[in-house]
Amino acid sequence: MPLSPLPPPSPAELFWQKYKFYLLLTLLSLTWLSYLGQVDQEWTRWLRENRSDLFGEWMGRTLFEGSLPGGSDPAILFVLASFLLYFRAWKSNATERLQEWRPFLGYIITTTLAGGLGYVHCLKWIIGRARPNLVWDKQWPFSEWYEFGPHYIAEGIYRGSFPSGHTAVVLVPMLLSLIWLTDFKYRKPKLAIFWAIGCILLAVGMAVARSMTAHHWISDSLGIFGPVALIAYWLYFDFLKVPQQRAYFRRNKKLPEMPRLWELKLCGWGFLVILGLICWFWGLRSVQLQSVPYLLGLAPAGAVLMTWGFLRIQRLYSGLFDWLHH
């Protein structure tokens, strides 16, 4: 007796199969952030009281701010080298090896701009959380990572505590681990694991150092691991489709025809969306801060910027991967 065919999966089953990793990682990230919120002040104060001034100063400084070398310099140099190689890979006389690495380089740059800069500074501007030194030394109000803090408008991007930009930057080199774990040619699982462990330890060290110097609450640093991983995974597999680009190269010995510097162009329009989001939140916060009610006009302006940016991204993105269906 022939077996009856299995019923097709329901929409809910299809949704779970496609997005279960994102849903589970989001739940795990929120649970971890919720726990950090309960111990935020206690852990940060303990690190401040038991600090190593030398370690805290070294991890926080960088050559690129006119100081001596510091803990974040290797990651910054890694990003700068990726940018230089990315532009070189688009040259007509680029070597085959460099062209082969172009999807990886575009991924590193996009993740750096979208996660390390866009995500971090967007939240700094919107949330405006006060740093520990201002709360303890100048009696500024303490706020949780999910609450609006006292910083507003121009202050937020530089003074906002959540999330930690230093910690996000030192996580960027860990993107190589995803490449070494998944790529058919450059797959090196042992190296990927050791590299990831090293990057995580460096990021934890940065989190500890930033709390020792009272520049960040511990949740500002340790709490961003999950969101950064979400952004990196989504960009690699779903948005930039790096594995598909690499498979095309393996079959055809060349990359598919795509607009020049298309990853950077997407990031440019993405920043317009982020700017619109920031303006929209500023406008809504002006209702709460009655001293600046005229800034309510920023809300519709922000909505226009977001809409325009999304439409430009959609226009550029549509058709980018038509070659997948040929």
Query: In this structure, what is the dihedral angle of CA atoms 18, 22, 27, 31, given to the nearest 10 degrees?
Result: 160
* Statement: residue 219 has pLDDT above 60: yes
d(CA 317, CA 315): 6
Closest CA to 225 of 36, 13, 7: 36
- Does the pLDDT of residue 259 top 90, yes or no? yes
d(CA 224, CA 228): 6
The rounded distance, in Å, linking the Cα atoms of 136 and 44 is 11
Furthest-apart CA pair in the chain: how many Å?
A: 81
Q: What is the pLDDT of residue 272?
A: 92
The string of pLDDT tens digits covering residues 47-80 is 999 999 999 999 988 888 777 888 889 999 999 9
Which pLDDT value is given to residue 65? 77
Return the pLDDT at 237.
93
Measured distance between the N- and C-terminal CA atoms of the chain, rounded to whole angstroms:
39
Tokens read off for 103: 């999807």
The H-or-E segment that residue 181 falls in is helix 175-182
Q: Which residues contact 203 (CB under 8 A, 6 or more apart)?
A: 167, 170, 171, 174, 221, 225
Distance (Å, whole) CA 97 – CA 244: 17
Output the pLDDT for position 2: 57
* Rounded Cα–Cα distance for residues 33 and 225 (Å): 10
pLDDT of residue 122 exceeding 90, the answer is: no
Read out DSSP for 237-268?
A: IIIS-HHHHHHHHHHHSSPPP--TTHHHHHHH
Answer yes or no: is pLDDT of 1 > 60.
no
Model confidence at 232: pLDDT above 60: yes
Q: How far apart are CA 168 and CA 118, in angstroms?
A: 11
Q: Give percent of the chain with pLDDT exceeding 70.
A: 93
Predicted confidence (pLDDT) at residue 115 exceeds the cutoff of 70: yes
The single-letter code of the amino acid at 104 is F
pLDDT tens, 145-174? Answer: 888 888 766 554 557 899 998 899 999 998
Q: Using pLDDT thresholds of 50, 70 and 90, give the confidence band for residue 282.
A: confident
Q: What is the mean pLDDT of the chain?
A: 88
